Amino acid sequence: RPAVHPKEEAPSQSVQKELLKKTSLKNNFKENIHSNGSRQQLPQTIIIGVRKGGTRALLEMLSLHPNIAAAESEVHFFDWEDHYGHGLQWYINQMPFSYPRQITVEKTPAYFTSPKVPERVYNMNESIRLLLILRDPSERVLSDYTQVFYNHVQKHKLYPSIEQVLIKDGELNVDYKAINRSLYYIHMENWLKYFPLGHIHIVDGDKLIKDPFPEIEKVERFLRLSPQINASNFYFNKTKGFYCLRDSGRERCLHESKGRAHPQIDSRLLDKLHEYFHEPNRKFFELVGRTFDWH
Ligand SMILES: Nc1ncnc2c1ncn2[C@@H]1O[C@H](COP(=O)(O)OS(=O)(=O)O)[C@@H](OP(=O)(O)O)[C@H]1O
Answer whether 203's CB lies under 8 Å from 219's CB: yes
| pLDDT tens for each residue of 226-259 | 999 999 999 999 999 999 999 999 999 999 999 9
- Which of 47, 51, 52 should be mutated for ligand 1, with most atoms under 8 A from CB? 52
Residues whose beta carbon lies within 6 Å of some atom of ligand 1: 51-57, 109, 143, 146-147, 208-209, 242-243, 254, 258-260
H or E segment and range at residue 97: strand 97-98
| pLDDT tens for each residue of 6-53 | 433 444 455 545 544 554 445 566 778 999 999 999 999 999 999 999
> Which residue's CA lies nearest to atom 11 of ligand 1?
54
> Which residue's CA lies nearest to atom 17 of ligand 1?
56
Residues paired with 133 in a beta bridge: 203
More confident residue, 13 or 140: 140
| Spatial CB neighbours of 194, under 8 Å, sequence gap ≥ 6 | 2, 6, 118, 119, 121, 122, 126
* pLDDT average, residue stretch 260-283: 97
> Which residue's CA lies nearest to atom 13 of ligand 1?
54
* pLDDT average, residue stretch 159-182: 96
| Spatial CB neighbours of 101, under 8 Å, sequence gap ≥ 6 | 67
Give me ligand 1 centre to Cα 30, in Å: 35
Q: How confident is the model at residue 4 (pLDDT cuts 50, 70, 90)?
A: very low
Asked if the model's pLDDT at residue 271 lies above 50, the reply is yes
Identify the pLDDT of residue 6. 42
Rounded CA gap, 260 and 58, in Å? 17
| pLDDT tens for each residue of 81-131 | 999 999 999 999 999 999 999 999 999 999 999 999 999 999 999 999 999
Identify the pLDDT of residue 32. 84
Give me ligand 1 centre to Cα 125, in Å: 28
Rounded CA gap, 172 and 170, in Å? 7
Distance set, CA 192 to CA 19, 36, 156, 175, 254 (Å)? 19, 39, 41, 25, 32
> Which residue's CA lies nearest to atom 31 of ligand 1?
259
Rounded CA gap, 216 and 272, in Å? 33
Answer whether 37's CB lies under 8 Å from 99's CB: yes
Among the atoms of ligand 1, which is closest to the Cα of residue 107?
A: 22
> Which residue's CA lies nearest to atom 12 of ligand 1?
54
Give me ligand 1 centre to Cα 21, in Å: 35
Identify the pLDDT of residue 18. 57
Q: DSSP labels for 168-193?
A: ETTEE-TT-HHHHHT-HHHHHHHHHT
H or E segment and range at residue 57: helix 55-62
> Which residue's CA lies nearest to atom 27 of ligand 1?
259
Residue in 148, 133, 121, 146 with CA at minimum distance from that of residue 55:
133
Residues paired with 68 in a beta bridge: 103
| pLDDT tens for each residue of 57-87 | 999 999 999 999 999 999 999 999 999 999 9
